[in-house]
Amino acid sequence: MISKSNLMTRHKPLIVAVAIVAVFALVCVIAVVPPAWAEDPQPASKNNAVAADAQEKKPGGSAPEIIVYASDLSKKALSEFDFWDDPASPGGKMVGTPNTGDELDPPPENDPHVTFKVEVQQGIPYRCWVHMKVGAPKVKSQANLLWAQFANAVDKANKEVFKPGTGSYLTAQGPAQQGWSWVDFKLEDNSSEPALVYFRTSGEITVRLQAGMEGVGFDQLVLSPAQFLEVPPSEAVAKR
Q: For residues 83 and 48, state if they share a domain.
A: no
Q: For residues 100 and 139, state if they share a domain.
A: yes
Q: In terms of pLDDT, which residue wins out, 239 or 57?
A: 239
Q: In terms of pLDDT, which residue wins out, 124 or 14?
A: 124
CA torsion 121-185-183-235 (nearest 10°) is -10
Distance CA 125, CA 223 (A): 9
| SS3 label, residue 149 | strand
Q: Would you say residue 180 lies in a domain?
A: yes
Q: For residues 34 and 76, state if they share a domain.
A: no
Q: For residues 81 and 167, state if they share a domain.
A: yes
Phi, psi of 99 (to 5 degrees): -110, 110
CA distances from 41 to 38, 44, 48, 74, 97 (A): 9, 10, 14, 62, 66
Q: How far does CA 65 lie from the centroid of its chain?
A: 8
End-to-end Cα distance, the chain? 103
pLDDT single digits (tens) 210-219 = 999 999 999 9
Q: For residues 117 and 209, state if they share a domain.
A: yes
Over 70: is that where the pLDDT of 17 sits?
A: no
Q: For residues 70 and 51, state if they share a domain.
A: no
Q: For residues 181 and 148, state if they share a domain.
A: yes
Over 80: is that where the pLDDT of 49 sits?
A: no
Q: For residues 187 and 209, state if they share a domain.
A: yes
Q: For residues 146 and 190, state if they share a domain.
A: yes
Nearby residues of 219 by Cβ (< 8 Å), 6 or more positions away: 69, 70, 71, 86, 89, 90, 93, 94, 95, 131, 133
Distance CA 96, CA 143 (A): 10
Q: Would you say residue 232 lies in a domain?
A: no
Mean pLDDT of 29-52: 37
Distance CA 86, CA 73 (A): 15
Is 0.75 topped by the overall pTM? Answer: no
Q: For residues 51 and 144, state if they share a domain.
A: no
Distance CA 144, CA 72 (A): 22
Q: For residues 129 and 188, state if they share a domain.
A: yes
Cβ atoms of 131 and 218 closer than 8 Å: yes
* Per-residue model confidence (pLDDT) at position 9: 46
Per-residue DSSP letter, 22: H
pLDDT single digits (tens) 119-144 = 999 999 999 999 999 999 999 999 99
Q: For residues 217 and 123, state if they share a domain.
A: yes
Q: How far does CA 89 lie from the centroid of its chain?
A: 23
Cβ atoms of 170 and 187 closer than 8 Å: yes
Domain holding 154, by residue range, is 66-224
Last residue of a domain, one of 56, 74, 92: 56
